[in-house]
Structure 1
Amino acid sequence: MFPLNASILIRHSRFDANEMKRCFHSETRYFSILRRPWDLFQSAYNFYGKGRLEKTATCFQMPIFFVNKGENLTVHQFLLKAAPLLNDSVPWYFRFRNFQAHDLGIDPMLTNQKEINKEIRRLDDNMDLVMILEHLEESMVLLKDLLCMDWETVTETHHLKKREYKRTMQFETTKHKKAFAGLYNIDLALYDYFNKTLWKRVDAYGRERMAKEIKILPKSSSKSLKTKQIHPSDNSSEEIKQYMFENSGRCELP
């Protein structure tokens, strides 16, 4: 339940196609971005694991606190412990179980592949573009084309050129790989599907045309856009606050 007549939504949110289409006009463009699931998992563990040895947990530290129980675990040790424990009874479980699927409105607990494929197709029908972080330049060219904007409005080359996303550590054993596949089954399927659709769109755009666009990415900073943002500020209606509260992660321990 978002405010009506908003211009743009850029805050953290969970995708709800029906609700967003109710609030935005019919020509609104919907786009998102996916990251390689294994890299996202490691990044999330390092990010949410800050202070993971504290005796009491905050929302920020869940569900790492629930899994680690005070132990200082490596990424791989956490993975093996988390695999059988994380489900929808654990506060903020989705941070380490199909995180991207959750944020895109898909139930992170789905295991039936036919249902998963159905949800991915539904998402594809409702998204105008799903970008891939590991192919950021191609993604930004497609975004520029989708939004009919010039480069200075869309992005900053400084960020694109200097920030590099590289693979970090690899699976130690097949046991770790299997545990990860169980926790991120939907995210892996999402990444595979939309990585393929991205390159189909690149082909439709034209490989030579794409290469030329990437070469002329501007060096100037992006222009500021004055847009209306959706945010649960003090002025938000109680109805909106209640909706956001009910649809956010739970903080209390089970």
Structure 2
Amino acid sequence: MKLTKALNKTKLLEASLDTEEEFLGKPIVEGIEMVYMPHIKKQWEDQKNHSTKKIPTRHQVMVTTAGNMKKNSGKKPGMSLVKGTESAVTVTADDQNSNDVQSPRKIHVPSSTTKSQSFAVLVTKKPTRVSSAKAANKPTQPEKMGFPKGQRTFSTSLSAFSQDATCKPRTHVVFLKVHKSASSTVMNILFRFGETHNLTFALPINGASQLRYPHYFTVAAVEGFVPGKDSQFNIMCHHMRFFQPEVGKVMPNTTFYFAILRNPVHLMESSFTYYKGTSSFVKANNLEEFIDQTSQFYNASAKDSHYAKNLMTFDFGFNHNGNFSVKHVQLMLRHIEAEFDLLLISEYFDESMVLLKELLCWDLDDVVSFPLNSRHNSTKIHLSDDTTEKIKSWNKLDWELYVHFNRTFWEKIDWHIGREHMQQEVRALQQKREQLAKVCLQEGGSIAPKNIRDQSLAPLQYGNAKILGYNLKNGLDKATKQMCRRLVTPELQYSKILYRKQFPKKALRLSKPARLPKLYNRRTV
């Protein structure tokens, strides 16, 4: 069996298709099993007949008409109001500058941004904004059956309010860990939630750090997976190149799928620093030189070329060198909308975490975090307007992906929460982070790698980046120290801890630690 052929979703995007129906009638998998997309084909036909219909996710059907919304969903209807003062502590995308995150507003893409109009993909009416008056008039709901507070590791729980809800916390989750998009911080949130509630993880085989990336994901990449047996895993969140037919064999049908995106301009600036040792970047003196002379530095057939072009598109399983036509972009976005319940935006990290906990029916305490895998400011690059425009054009597929799902992100906020409630919840989340920083962190925030005292908490140093870390305060009691340590443990170390817990016998047999990804150039601090 030729795995590349069997998993080659990219050929569908590259193919010259006569009709959309021809694309939707083709099997995604050839040689392993015939996986057709009749549900997507039906959605496509419905959309042609009713232009205002959106492609639904697996758990929700949303139809928008002029000023009116109808919904069939199991999600909880509302949430509590929280008052608090503004906090100066914020989380941004991996290494995003603080001035990139201001207020929870949609981005606006002027016509000059991409030299051509952004693809109009799913034409829908803007959802009606949830007003505070509407939220206040909602009937009282029974108290949510959440996790016992006794399971919290922090002896004085920071949760001072409860959510009005009848929902049940979701415990089957797939997170597509998109590179350089604050995904390490999200991964830490999932690690902590799963460990606290004794959930099981779909971990890479032999204690590896990734699920076969950059190859397409297959079930063989998961430690302990038994074909034909009901899924025994709750959370999948390691790096992988997404391939739904294989992921669906590991996780149950009720699984919640989500991912996080980042502005491709910021992402590429970060990638150039982190992945300086890749074939596309290694000979370029700076990012401006690379983007001005891509034909000289970029080899589309190189195995690591995805780090330099449309990296998000690649992680979602599509061809990063694919066709930029309206048709192909539409197909890509429709596939992602059909396969994922939620796409978050890293430039609005706090808003993203509030929306995530709302849809997962988790508590605000569950999504509080410290930024992980972030860079020191000295390794960040200021880009000119001209370079910015060239990066957008070079990463055309990623740009269309980002613009589209930035819009749907705010639509979901308007529909599920409302802007006023969102602002209140964001303030509460920031206050919690600030309180935790006072409790846990010696310096009150992140520090340079050379100043990290406990080397077991030192993050891996990538490329030319200086990855920041944390020092914990001395004298913490056992429970508080455990909670604080979980918050600042880098992903590679945390992943090994979870592997030893789930597979203790095999972990003992492994004589060598998991090999680090080849493209991650480790260097001493």
* TM-score bracket for this pair, using the shorter chain length: 0.7 to 0.9
Structure 1: gaps of 5 or more residues: 53-60, 237-247
Q: Which one of 187, 196, 199 corresponds to residue 407 of structure 2?
A: 196
> Counterpart of 2:260?
33
Q: Tell me, yes or no, if structure 1 residue 184 matches structure 2 residue 395.
A: yes
Q: 1:178 to 1:214 in 2, by over 3 A?
A: closer
Cα displacement (A) at 1:178:
5.7
CA offsets 1:187-223 (integer angstroms, 9 cap, x no match): 0001100100011011112112212211211246579
Contact 1:87 1:109 (8 Å CA) reproduced? no
2:418 corresponds, among 197, 206, 210, to 206
Q: Which residue of 1 aligns with 2:293?
A: 81
For 1:1-254, list aligned pairs within 5 A: 1-2=218-219, 3=222, 4=225, 5=231, 6-49=233-276, 61-65=278-282, 68=283, 73-83=285-295, 86-110=298-322, 111-156=324-369, 158-159=370-371, 169-171=382-384, 173=386, 176=387, 179-204=390-415, 205-217=417-429, 218-219=432-433
Shift of 1:22: 2.0
In the alignment, the residues of structure 2 paired with residue 150 and residue 96 of structure 1 have an alpha-carbon distance, to the nearest angstrom, of 37
- For 2:347, the aligned partner's letter is E
C-alpha contact (below 8 Å) 1:92/1:249 kept by paired residues: no
1 CA distance for matches of 2:304 and 2:273?
16
- How much identity, in percent, do the aligned residues show? 26
Which whole-Å deviations, capped at 9, do the CAs of 1:33-77 have from their partners, x for residues lacking one?
Answer: 11111111111111122xx5xxxxxxxx33323xx2xx6x12100
Q: TM-score by structure 1 length?
A: 0.73
CA RMSD after TM alignment: 3.5
Structure (1/2) with the larger helix percentage: 1
Give the C-alpha shift of residue 125 in structure 1: 1.4
Partners of 2:265 and 2:392 within 8 A in 1: no
Distance 2:296 2:330 in 1: 24
Deviation at 1:169, TM superposition (A): 2.3
SS state at 1:109 partner: coil
Partner letter of residue 211 of structure 1?
Q
Shift of the 25–145 alpha-carbon distance from structure 1 to 2, 3 Å rule, reads same
Q: Which amino acid aligns with 2:254?
A: E
Q: Which amino acid aligns with 1:95?
A: Y
The count of residues paired between Structure 1 and Structure 2 equals 216
Between 1:85-94 and 1:121-130, the stretch displaced more is 85-94
Gap change, CA 1:93 and 1:249, over 3 Å in 2: farther
Shift of 1:185: 0.6
Deviations 1:126-151 (A, max 9, x none): 11111101111111111101211112
- 1:249 to partner: Cα distance: 9.3
What is the CA–CA distance in structure 1 between the aligned matches of 2:518 and 2:313, rounded to whole Å?
15
Q: Does the CA-based 8 Å contact 2:264-2:399 persist in structure 1?
A: yes
Distance 1:235 1:88, change over 3 A: farther
Q: CA–CA distance in 1 between the matches of 2:257 and 2:389?
A: 33
Structure-2 change in CA distance of 1:90 and 1:39 (3 Å): same
Counterpart CA distance in 1 for 2:260 and 2:297 is 28
Larger radius of gyration: 2
Aligned mates of 1:159, 1:179 — CA distance in 2: 29
The 3-state SS of whatever aligns with 1:131 is strand
Task: Tell me the distance in 1 between the aligned counterparts of 2:376 and 2:404.
Answer: 23
TM-score by length of 2: 0.37
